[in-house]
Structures are given as structure tokens and as C-alpha cells.
Structure 1
Amino acid sequence: MKGEYSMELLEIFEKLHSIPEISWEEKNTTEYIEAFLKEHDIYVERFTDHTGLIAEVGSGKPVVGIRADINALFQELNGKMQANHSCGHDAHMTIAIGVLLNLKRIETSLQGTVRCLFQPAEEQGNGSLSVVKTGFVDDMDYLFGVHLRPKDELEIGKAAPSLRHGAAIFYKGKIIGDDAHGARPQCTVNAIDIGMALNSYINQLSLSPMLPHSIKMTRFSAGSKNPNIIPGSAEFSLDLRAQTNHGLTSLKELAQKKLDSIETLYGVKIEGSWIDYTPGAEVSREAEEILSAAIREIRGEENLAEPITTPGSDDFHFYTIERTNLKAAMLALGADLTPGLHHPSMTFDQSCLLHGVDILTDAVKRALNQ
């Protein structure tokens, strides 16, 4: 039975892997999940305003949730820009479906409801907020997420009871000025000079060395095809990260002051906006303890790893910020993933799929009995 079950998971994974779709466009993915779960007599309901859906097994209280992100990235693969599952979301969906199949077999014995959120647009950092607005999170007591981990962080077979992501935000800006002839530099302020100054200034920003954080320019574009024109305008982007939400707020305030001072110093206008804020982790101790117990039960004490702190971000943590009564934690799953997350040729050991299903199935049952 276990071999047959493993084959079923692999077939689900291969199908999901073959239909990658970018944020807010996960139409085929939503349709496949809906059709598959209906075939197995599992209740599903689509979100009305966007892609994605929920699926439920059991009834009544408490309500225990699972979050599975369903979008892919858009990146160059084999010389072509295309949607590509290089962050493990195809695996996360497969694991969530496997948990639902497990629980459907014992549905009559469940004391409560298990609800899976198949959430769109995680990579844009705001898909979870749209799901919160649907109301499907309001009555949840617990929520568990899952994410595959790189080989150098967590080896296959091991798992950690929480992922402590950092907070991130981005600034998309434009320097606004007038172009000038290359022979008349006195007629304008070179936007490239402004960009170089801005880059130098932000590289000097820092918080306490006890708090992991970073700020860097990730895009700068100025000038035209004509080499004899001094560009007065340019577009740029900044990437800010900190391990805590408070730290990110402080870093953002410092960066905004530098932007304001650049305007004054060079006498130019800088227009822009802060976008795609993703909060740092707000981990529930109760949810983390449940995942720890499940890992011990399924994989043994020797495969229980310490909670993982990572500078990466995930919009999973909006759920606990928006619904403060919700107890949540994200399972970190060893997968021998290489070369790394978001690498276009990312691969992993697919035996982790069964590990994830079994651990989350055990965790959900424990949460129902709290």
C-alpha cells in the first residue's frame, strides 16, 4: 500500500510540475486540483475573486488549516522566459493533497474540520492577504505551512518545526529630470551620478550587528541609444530585508531619509513607492510544538532539526499578523534540494513528498485533539 501511495503522490507531483503558472494566473492548476479532489469526494470551493481554492475534510470545531502555495516563477529556462516551478510549490501542493487523501480515509473519526488553502501569488508577497479577505481564515484555530529546504540547510529525512523568515520590502523609484546634450553638462544633473550617490549612501546604512539585515540597489536604468545625451531621468529599485518586522521598519525609515536628502542635495525629484511588503515570521509556540511532536513520531528524534532562521521571506506570515488568534508554524522539510531555491534547474529528492505528507497528517490530527 505504501508503494502504491508513493506512486500516486509522484503522479500528482508530475502533473502539477508540468503546468506551472505565474501569480494570479494559476487557472489550470486550480482546475486540476479541484477536479482531482472532487473525484475523491473531497469538498472544494473556489475563491470567487481570484485563482485558488479551499478543500475540506471533516466538520465542526476546531478548524485546522494547511497552506499550499500554487504559483510558479517566471524566469529564463533553456533560453526562453517561461513559468517554472523552481521554488517547490508543486511539491507543497502535492503534500497538501496527500494529507487530504489520508484524512478522507478516516473522515468519520475526525473531531473537527481540516481546511486546505490552495493559495495563489505567494511569490508576489500578497496572495495570502487576498485569501484572508475571503473569510476562510476567520474561524481557523491552527494553520500549518510547508516549504522544501536546500541541501546545505537541511538534508533529506530531516525536518524542522518552524521556518523563521525575515521581513522584506522593495522600493520602486524614478529620478525625474531633463536630458541634455553631451557637450552641455551644465544644463542638467546626470541621473547616473545621482544613482551612484544613492547606491553609495544606502550601502552605508546599518542597524545593530546583532540583527541580520541588508539593503541594496537591485535595478538601475538610465540613458538611451544615443551616447551624446546626458540622461536626466532614471529608474531604480531597492531591496530591504531584516530578520524582524521592527528592524525592517527602522531600515525603511533610514532609506527614506536618504532618498529625501538626495532630492535636496541634487535638486531633483524622486518619485516612487514601497511595494510587496512581506512580514517576518510570527511563530506560535503551540503550533511549533505540535510539529516537533509529529516529526519525532514520524521521522524519529534524530531527524528533528532546530527551527530554521532564514533571510528569505514568505507571505504565509500575513495570516498570523492579520488574524492574531491564529496559531501557525511552517514545516521546514529536508529535500536535498540543489542548486538552490529559485534556480531554474532546481531539483530535489522526491522521497521528501511522503515524509511531508506523513508529518503534516500527524500534526493535523494532534491539533484537532488539542
Structure 2
Amino acid sequence: MSHVSEQQLIDWRRELHSWPELSGHEVETTARLRRWLEEAGLHPLDYPLETGVVVEVGRGETLIALRADIDALPIHEATGLAYRSRHSGVMHACGHDVHSAVMLGAALQLKAIEDQLPGRVRILFQPAEENATGARKLIQAGVLTDVQAIFGMHNEPGLPTGTFATRGGAFYANADKFVVRVVGKAAPVAQPEQGVDSILVASQIIQALQTLTSRSFNRLDSLVLSVTRIEAGKGGDALPGDAEFGGTVRTHDKQVRAELEQRARQIVESIAAANGASATFSWHPGPPVLENDARWATFASQVAEQVGYRVQTAELHLGGEDFAYYLQQIPGAFVSIGSASEFGLHHGGFNPDEALIAPAAHYFSQLAQQALQHLNARCRDAILS
């Protein structure tokens, strides 16, 4: 790899890893990225962003974009690494520090051959992916103006280093959240008949929701519903009058998504009513299903083979990813690159193989160059025809 050493990219990744920042608060992360980019002769574009940075390489009308995310998670790090997080309770447990290092490497490689580029490459270092607000903020700021295709990555701890996977069409899932509030009637524990036990009602609703996905939908549909928290009462000698729980739903089909919301709402309200309680069901849409453009997914895989990756067709992924918002606006492809971590994403022991960084940087540099060439050729063919 030329123009920036593998060790430099690893050092940058480790510095980002040591000083993680949560979604929307990536102030020092942004400052570091800006400094490293400016030292390489890349000057941030003037977008109204509080955090995050965007640079551009090349000249001409043909324009594609590359995207990295930069935020961390509210997770305590348990790796014991020398460069572990210095911010207590905050960790790059999803590998966004790795993604940033990869796109730094790609940006510097492209800068080194800027005069030979057949167009422009806009590189987005996006904040706030974890709370699914960052991509929309960048879109509102205008970063997709004139962009003809966009590409991004996520490291995949379940894949070996040197392995690449993507797929056309639906890839990552709709990632929605829901909250249920049950209102019963408080009563002494010795006289439960005087009240309506909100914990009992909430438990019945949870059981019914969990069986909804296995008994009311086709087992071949990709669908997960999980209750992830519950709060009720404060102990002592009283049955609580209210309870609240929430969770997440992951789907890949818009019709399944809409039907599940409707069925869940009916279950919540009917079970509560049957027990003499009331309940509210609130649905909070998250990132939509990430849908790769089939042609760009194939193109991205072909370039991956050329640079030496072992290429696979990715399975459907039930994680959410706000890169989906970009793909609602313009075509492109999101890809997985193996990071071979013993522990998975969002785990305190997550530790991706840093050997993925330099090859991935080279890959995205090549992908950008070839995508520009492809778009130029397509434009010439259209003119000739």
C-alpha cells in the first residue's frame, strides 16, 4: 500500500479507539480527523455540521461518495488492550474507528493520484450512526448534491479477515422500536383482587408478542421482535399500578413491517382490556431497510475479487444501518468486510483484526476509481446511442 503506511492507519485507529465519543458529541474525533486530513492536503468542505467532516478529491463532473461512521457506544470496554478506551463507559464497540481509518487511507491514496482521477470522490466521515440521525443530517446539509453513487462498509466479526460479502436488494433490516405502557390499578400484595396487576398484564402481552412472529407470520420471512427492557414497581408491599416495557423489531419487508405494527398494537390493547387495564402502544420507526442497487453490488464484488478478497454473497442482516437513508436518495452498495473478532458487535470484548484496515483502504480507493470510470463510460455510451 503506497502513500500512507499500514502502521499509520493502525495508529490513527488506535488513537480514535482510545478517545471514543457518543453520537452527536464527536467533537474531538472530528478535530482529529480534520487535522489528519488537512496535513495530507485535504480540506474539509463547508457544510453546516456540528460534528463530522466531509472532504473531496479530484476534478470533473462525475462524482461518487464514500462513507465512514465515527461515533461510539455507551458500553464499558473489557478488552484490556493497551489502547483501550480512556472514556469510562464509552467504547468503539462497533468498529467505527476501524471504518474511519479505512476511509482515511482511501482518501490519502486517492489524493496521491488526484490528477489522474476521472472525476471526484467525496468522502463522508459521518457522525451519529448509532442513533440513526447522522445520515439524515448530512443529507439535509447537502452532501449528496450531484453524487451519482455511494459506497460504504461495515466490519463483520463473524467473517474471517480477507473475506468480503454483499448482496443486491435488501441487506440490513428495518430497525424499529416500540414502547408499551400498561395502566392497571395498584393494590396491597395481600389483597390483589382490589387492583389490576400491571406486571401480570405486561407479562401476558410480552408472551403474546413473542409468539406473534412464530405463529402469525411466514417462518421464511426475516423477522425478529425482542423485548429489551421492562420497568414496574419499586418493591415493597404493593402491586404497581403501571408498568412499561420496550423493545425492537427487525424486518426486511415493508408489508411485513406494517402488518406487524398493526398486529402488535391489537394484541397490546386487547390483552390489556381483557384484564381490566388499559395500554398504549407507541411505534418509533428507525432506519429503513437498506437496499443495495443490484448492479453496484455486483460491481463492488467484482472489484473485491480483483484486489484479492474471498468474495461471498452476504446473508440477510438483521442489524439496522442508517446508510439506508443514502440509498433511498441515490444508488450504491454497502458491503461487509471480515474482522474476525471473538466477540460480536456491541460487546465490551469486541476486538476486530486490524489487518483488515490497509487492504480495505486499498479496496475503496480502487472501487472509487473504477466506479468513476464506469460512470464515464456509461455516459459516453448514452451519448453515442
Compute the TM-score of the two structures, normalised by the length of structure 2: 0.88
Q: Match for 2:294: what amino acid?
A: R
Q: CA deviation at 1:50?
A: 3.3
Match of 2:254 in 1: 245
Q: Match for 1:218: what amino acid?
A: T
Match of 1:346 in 2: 350
Q: CA deviation at 1:362?
A: 0.9
State how far apart, in whole Å, the 1-side matches of 2:285 and 2:98 are: 24
- Written as runs of structure 1 = structure 2, the 5 A alignment for 1:192-231 is 192-206=199-213, 207-226=217-236, 228-231=237-240
Q: CA deviation at 1:243?
A: 2.7
- Written as runs of structure 1 = structure 2, the 5 A alignment for 1:103-142 is 103-142=110-149
Q: Match for 2:59: what amino acid?
A: S
Match of 1:64 in 2: 64
In 2 relative to 1, CA 127–268 (structure 1 residues): closer, same or farther, beyond 3 Å? Answer: farther
User: Can you list the C-alpha shifts for 1:253-280, whole angstroms capped at 9, x where unaligned?
Assistant: 2111212223432343323532251222
In 2 relative to 1, CA 230–124 (structure 1 residues): closer, same or farther, beyond 3 Å? Answer: same
State how far apart, in whole Å, the 2-side matches of 1:267 and 1:178 are: 9
State how far apart, in whole Å, the 1-side matches of 2:115 and 2:295 are: 26
In 2 relative to 1, CA 47–162 (structure 1 residues): closer, same or farther, beyond 3 Å? Answer: farther
Mapped contact 1:158–1:304 kept (Cα < 8 A): yes
Number of positions where the alignment pairs a residue of Structure 1 with one of Structure 2: 362
Match of 1:26 in 2: 26
| Residue 366 of structure 2 is aligned to residue 362 of structure 1 | yes
Q: Match for 1:34: what amino acid?
A: R
More strand by share: 1
State how far apart, in whole Å, the 2-side matches of 1:246 and 1:96 are: 36
User: Can you list the C-alpha shifts for 1:91-138, whole angstroms capped at 9, x where unaligned?
Assistant: 000001111000000111112211111111111123212221111113
Equivalent position SS for 1:310: coil
Pick which of 261-270 and 189-198 moved more. 261-270
In 2 relative to 1, CA 85–194 (structure 1 residues): closer, same or farther, beyond 3 Å? Answer: same
Match of 1:332 in 2: 336
Match among 269, 294, 303 for residue 303 of structure 2: 294
Mapped contact 2:63–2:147 kept (Cα < 8 A): yes
State how far apart, in whole Å, the 1-side matches of 2:193 and 2:271 are: 19
State how far apart, in whole Å, the 2-side matches of 1:88 and 1:276 are: 24
In 2 relative to 1, CA 312–260 (structure 1 residues): closer, same or farther, beyond 3 Å? Answer: same
State how far apart, in whole Å, the 2-side matches of 1:288 and 1:125 are: 23
Q: Match for 1:129: what amino acid?
A: R
CA root-mean-square deviation: 2.1
User: Can you list the C-alpha shifts for 1:63-90, whole angstroms capped at 9, x where unaligned?
Assistant: 1111111110101335996110111100
5+ residue gaps, structure 2: 80-86, 375-385
Match among 149, 174, 180 for residue 156 of structure 2: 149
Mapped contact 2:4–2:105 kept (Cα < 8 A): no
Match of 2:380 in 1: none
State how far apart, in whole Å, the 2-side matches of 1:8 and 1:351 are: 12
Pick which of 38-47 and 54-63 moved more. 38-47
State how far apart, in whole Å, the 1-side matches of 2:355 and 2:336 are: 15
Q: Match for 2:230: what amino acid?
A: F
State how far apart, in whole Å, the 2-side matches of 1:84 and 1:47 are: 27
